[in-house]
Amino acid sequence: MSSGRVYLDYNATAPPDPEVIARIRPYMEADFGNPSSLHREGQRARAAINGARAGLARILHCQENEILFTSGATEALNHVFLGFLQQPAGHLITTQIEHLAVLEPCRFLEKSGWSVTYLPVDGDGLVSPAAVRQAVRPDTRLISCMHANNETGTVQPVREIGEIARAAGIPFLTDAVQSFGKISVDLAAWNASFAVFSAHKIGGLKGTGLLYVRRDRDLTSLIRGGHQERGGRGGTENVAGIVAMAEAARLAEARRAGEAARLKTLRDTLEAGILKQLTGARVTAGGAERLPNTLHVVWEHLDSEKLLMGFDLAGIAISNGSACDSGSVEPSHVVAALGLPDSYRKGAVRFSLGRGTTAEEIDRALTETIRIVRHLQKERVHAGPVKHAGN
């Protein structure tokens, strides 16, 4: 980065691609019209949305009328879950490692009489398709499983889970926010009824998302007040954000294979260096298929808050989990679900690489990781055992 800092938090957000910024400039200057207006300015904006929708449909291998633009993935997920409030209470199946944008609507539905099964995961963060099958009940109305986890990078067996849902006649929802633009996305092969995507994870703008609703499914509108998005979501469309999402997706798809290989090489270099030169480190999801850009490490007896402070002071931006769960001093629900020994649960950090990541930055990140971790380990040894009141 030009500031001298190293940014390794792409799973939280990716910097807008320069080509994306250039692409949307006209819609922030000359073509600023309201896409619902009938005059020339409005129709130019409408044409831009239509073009973006068509481009995204080609990338996602779906129909244009199956795409609903939203303010982000959180809104899109809430749209699916809260759309079910119009139905009699039933049963939902999800997992313990979903994003809070899934877990919190599920908890809300539970207060309204719904029953929710939260499936556990193994030590790599993988959900068992057999467990999904066993959880299905006659009143199951939805199965929800993310494609790739935002913290560990674990890629879930959504094809198998989608097939279970199809065979049982149950709608299947997948959160594909982290996998979009990084690995293959195939909504048809997954038998997905609903899927959500976010622009700012792939170099688009914050505040734009996409909800895929298969044409044989219907949802009650979550936001009322207009007939935009074919009546599916009221409110004036974010033209620049929608155009930016389509352009970012186009670029990500064109680069995907090459970038995946490049980022995996860099990620594996960092991982190998950490495991070789530091003690007390465990790579989570190391035995499962992972996103090529994601490395999640837990350190025994270390505190992630101190680790993150050390990295930030060293000019390196990483995280310890979901940005939507920041500020918590407790281990994330994802780390807790992995079944790690207590001594590892508070020392989690996530390195997530992206388009701007270089080999030189990875070398610097490894050097600083070694220095910071060794310093904290030495500090802990010198501090001695913790003394508790009454001892």
> Which among 62, 106, 145, 324 is annotated as catalytic?
324
How deeply is 22 buried, as exposed, middle or buried, from its count of CB atoms within 10 A (0-12, 13-18, 19+)? exposed
Q: Across the strands, what pairs with 232?
A: none
Tokens of 166: 């199809």
Half-sphere exposure of 327 (CA within 13 A, CB side): 2
The set of residues, in sequence order, having a beta carbon less than 8 Å from that of 335 and lying 6+ positions away, is 151, 284, 298, 321, 345, 348
Q: Is 342 left (phi over 0), alpha (psi -120 to 50) or beta?
A: alpha
Q: Which residues of 211-225 are buried (b: 16+ CB within 10 A; e: fewer)?
A: bbbbeeeebebbbee
Q: Is 106 a catalytic residue?
A: no
Sign (positive or negative) of CA dihedral 70, 72, 75, 78: positive
Give the number of other Cβ atoms within 10 Å of residue 341's Cβ: 9
Name residues whose C-beta falls within 8 Å of residue 77's C-beta, 6 or more positions apart in sequence. Answer: 99, 101, 102, 105, 173, 175, 196
Tokens linked to 188: 């048809």
Residue 9 DSSP symbol = B
3-class SS of residue 236:
coil
Q: Are 369 and 278 in contact (CB under 8 A)?
A: yes
* DSSP-derived secondary structure for 140-161: EEEEE--SB-TTT-BBP-HHHH
Tell me the catalytic residues: 324
